[in-house]
């Protein structure tokens, strides 16, 4: 299984350590693991020029960096996104990365390779905010068309991995075993969820009427999605 991990912080704390434990369970001898650290790999905020939507993603001022990550994402069977909770939400740098991929939402120009991928979102907090943090990321992945999304949020009652109690670590190990087994069980046979297909079908009707701009409409037409073809075929 090829895995790309996108770390929502460069801090190697609880979230990073949990991601490593997942990798230990999920990697096999043929696995290719790719890692993206934020903000190191995409340091700039979206400038709001909207060139990606209107002209094409290659017109983004940050295209080179974003495209490198796009290629890493495309090569993965499983995408792992990690984020500690920062004031009840994902980190600013993770949000910045997701903003740069707005153009590939199903409402615009979805990447057909997403429709058979799995994702795992990992979040930790001292106490609370995992649900809203995971949702910040899951919203984008669903609208990218990612077929199956697994979620793992944990309140660790600590500010770093060393501060996490042995009792909590034990429950984390058990959770990792359980979720990893589910991921391994569906590997190679991942079909998009009902929700993803429903969003695609609604947007297909919008695109049939011309969509939001010419670049999007032309893209849907070229892929044959306005007729019989579907990205998951
Ligand atoms: C800027 C900042 C904001 C935070 N906001 C929250 C919060 O809203 N809720 C919470 O329970 N913990 C919050 N925390 C604590 C972290 O989410 C928690 O310690 C997390 O496990 C850190 O992950 P890491 O060790 O991977 O960096 C915050 C920490 C920082 C640095």
For ligand 1, atom 7, the nearest C-alpha belongs to 87
CA distances from 160 to 6, 12, 157, 165 (A): 19, 8, 9, 11
Q: Tell how far the Cα of 84 is from the centroid of ligand 1, in angstroms.
A: 6
* Residue ID of nearest Cα to ligand 1 atom 24: 13
Calculate the alpha carbon distances from 157 to 7, 12, 81, 137, 163 in Å. 20, 16, 21, 22, 8
Q: Is the CB of 85 under 6 A from ligand 1?
A: yes
Output the CATH code of domain 3-192: 3.40.50.360
Distance 122 CA to ligand 1 centre (A): 13
Q: What are phi and psi of 160, to 5 degrees?
A: -155, 160
Nearest CA to ligand 1 atom 25: 13
d(CA 215, CA 151): 33
Q: From first to last of the 233 residues of the chain, give the pLDDT tens digit.
A: 999 999 999 999 999 999 999 999 999 888 999 999 999 999 899 999 999 999 999 999 999 999 999 999 999 999 999 999 999 999 999 999 999 999 999 999 999 999 999 999 999 999 999 999 999 999 999 999 999 999 999 999 999 999 999 999 999 999 999 999 999 999 999 999 999 999 999 999 999 999 889 999 999 999 999 999 999 97
Q: Does the Cβ of 8 fall within 6 Å of ligand 1?
A: no
Residue 6 — φ and ψ, nearest 5°? -115, 110
This prediction's pTM: 0.97
Q: Tell me the Ramachandran region of residue 224: left when phi exceeds 0, alpha when psi lies from -120 to 50, beta otherwise.
A: left
CA of 130 to the centre of ligand 1 (A): 10
Nearest to 112 by CA among 76, 58, 65, 74: 74
* Domain positions in the chain: 3-192
pLDDT reported for residue 233: 74
């Amino acid at each position: 299984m090829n895995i790309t991990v996108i770390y929502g912080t460069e801090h190697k704390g609880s979230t990073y350590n949990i991601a490593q434990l997942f990798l230990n369970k999920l990697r096999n001898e043929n696995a290719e693991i790719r890692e993206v650290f934020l903000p190191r790999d995409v340091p700039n905020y979206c400038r709001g020029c909207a060139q990606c939507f209107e002209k094409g993603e290659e017109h983004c001022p940050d295209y080179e960096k974003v495209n490198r990550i796009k290629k890493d994402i495309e090569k993965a069977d499983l995408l792992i996104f990690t984020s500690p909770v920062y004031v009840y939400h994902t980190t600013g740098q993770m949000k910045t990365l997701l903003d740069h991929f707005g153009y590939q939402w199903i409402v615009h120009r979805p990447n057909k390779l997403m429709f058979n991928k799995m994702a795992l979102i990992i979040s930790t907090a001292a106490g609370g905010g995992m649900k809203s943090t995971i949702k910040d990321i899951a919203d984008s992945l669903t609208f990218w068309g990612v077929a199956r999304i697994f979620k793992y949020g944990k309140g660790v009652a600590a500010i770093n991995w060393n501060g996490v109690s042995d009792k909590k670590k034990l429950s984390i190990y058990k959770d990792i075993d359980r979720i990893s087994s589910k991921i391994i069980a569906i590997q190679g046979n991942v079909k998009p969820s009902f929700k993803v297909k429903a969003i695609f079908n609604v947007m297909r009707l919008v695109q049939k009427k011309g969509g939001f701009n010419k670049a999007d409409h032309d893209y849907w037409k070229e892929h044959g999605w306005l007729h019989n073809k579907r990205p998951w075929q």
